[in-house]
């Protein structure tokens, strides 16, 4: 279970990948993934896009939903955040929780 992030060369897209279980044990590393890259790029513009890649995520619990909401709150409503590569059961959790209204869920 790891969280990694990759900032594009043009500093316009940050991809955060979560592998294994996305749960309360990931709180600090997930928050650090978007705040430390934000600070290092000094780019808080609304043009910055964030992608949470869940391709390798096997399980997600309610604390993961909270982490996504905290990310949304921290970055603001005008910033584009996409949740991509969701497995069917994770996409179902996100849809039932109406996260498709605050994020682009794919």
Pairing of strands 2-7, 57-60: unpaired
pLDDT of residue 45: 55
Look up the pTM and report it.
Answer: 0.91
Interatomic CA distance for residues 47 and 61, integer angstroms: 30
Q: How many folded domains does the chain comprise?
A: 1
Interatomic CA distance for residues 75 and 46, integer angstroms: 9
In the chain, DSSP assigns E strands to: 2-7, 13-22, 49-53, 57-60, 80-84, 104-105
Give me the domain span that covers residue 86.
Answer: 2-105
State the CATH number of the domain containing residue 26.
Answer: 3.30.750.24
The total number of residues written for the chain in this structure = 106
Interatomic CA distance for residues 67 and 56, integer angstroms: 17
Q: pLDDT tens digits for the chain (106 residues)?
A: 699 999 999 989 999 999 999 999 999 999 999 998 665 544 455 688 999 999 999 999 999 999 999 999 999 999 999 999 999 999 999 999 999 999 999 9
């Amino acid at each position: 279970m790891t969280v990694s992030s990759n900032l594009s060369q043009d500093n316009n897209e940050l991809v955060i990948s979560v592998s294994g279980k996305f749960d309360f044990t990931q709180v600090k590393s997930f928050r650090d993934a978007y705040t430390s890259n934000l600070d290092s790029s000094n780019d808080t513009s609304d043009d910055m896009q964030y992608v949470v890649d869940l391709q390798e995520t096997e399980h997600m619990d309610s604390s993961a939903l909270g982490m996504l909401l905290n990310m949304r709150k921290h970055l603001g409503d005008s910033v584009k955040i996409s949740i991509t590569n969701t497995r069917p059961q994770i996409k179902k959790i996100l849809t039932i929780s109406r996260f498709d209204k605050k994020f682009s869920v794919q």
